[in-house]
A = this chain, B = another copy of it.
Amino acid sequence: MTKKIRGAVSGLAAAAMTALLAAAPAQAQFAKPEDAVKYRKASFTVMAQHFGRIGAMVNGRAPFDAKAAADNAAVVEYMSKLPWAAFGEGTDTGETKARPDIWKENDKFKAAAQKMQDEVAKLNATAKGGNLDQIKASFGAAAQTCKACHDEYRNK
C-alpha cells in the first residue's frame, strides 16, 4: 500500500469512527437494542391511538368534537417527536418490522420522518382552529406521510 492510499484509508476509518461517535448518544440512551425497538413501537402505538381518534371524526365514524380533536392532535404532535432516537444503528434486529433500508438510506428515512412531524404539527395548528373541513385536509396530508413511510420502510 502506498503512503497516499494508506493515508486515505486511515482517513476513511477516522471518518467512520467520527460518524459512529456522533451516532452514539442516541444509541446510548437505550441499554439494549430491544429496548429501543420496544420504545419506538410503544411511542407509535400511543400516537396512532390519538391520530385514529381524529380519523374517526374526520371519517364520520365518531361525532365531531372540536375540543377532543384539538386535544388528540396535541398528543399526536408531542408523540411524533419521540420514536426517531430509537432508530439507532444496531436496532434492526428482533421483533421489528423495520426494513434495512432505514439504515441504508438513513437521510431519506430521516427526511420522511421529518415530513411526518411537519404535517402533524400543521394538523395540531389546524385542530386548534376547530374547523372540521380544515382538519380533514390536514389529517389527510398527515395520514399520507404515515402511509408513505410505512410503504417504504415497514414490513407488512
Residue of B nearest to A43 (CB): B46
A2–chain B nearest beta-carbon distance, Å: 42
Within A5-29, the residues touching B (CB, 8 Å) are: 29
By secondary structure, the A interface counts as: helix
Q: Complex: how many Å from CA A30 to CA B35? A: 26
Q: In this assembly, does A38 line the interface, its C-beta being within 8 Å of a C-beta of chain B?
A: yes
Category for how many chain A residues contact B: 10 to 19
Does residue A42 face the partner (Cβ distance < 8 Å to B)? Answer: yes
**Measured CA separation A30–B41 after assembly (Å):** 18
Q: Name which of A29, A35, A46 has the most chain B CB atoms within 10 A of its CB.
A: A46
Residues of B within 8 A of A148 (CB): none
Q: Does A137 contact B (CB under 8 A)?
A: no
Residues of B within 8 A of A29 (CB): 49, 53
Q: How far is the CA of A39 from the CA of B44 in the complex (A)?
A: 10
15 other contacts beyond A39-B49, A41-B42, A43-B46, with CB at 8 A cut-off?
A: A29-B49, A29-B53, A30-B49, A35-B49, A38-B45, A39-B45, A39-B46, A42-B42, A42-B43, A42-B45, A42-B46, A46-B46, A46-B82, A75-B82, A78-B78
What are the nearest 4 A-B pairs in CB distance? A42-B45, A42-B42, A39-B49, A42-B46
- Chain A interface (Cβ < 8 Å from any Cβ of B): 29-30, 35, 38-39, 41-43, 45-46, 49, 53, 75, 78, 82
A–B complex contacts, Cβ < 8 Å, 6 sampled? A29-B49, A39-B45, A39-B49, A42-B42, A42-B43, A42-B45
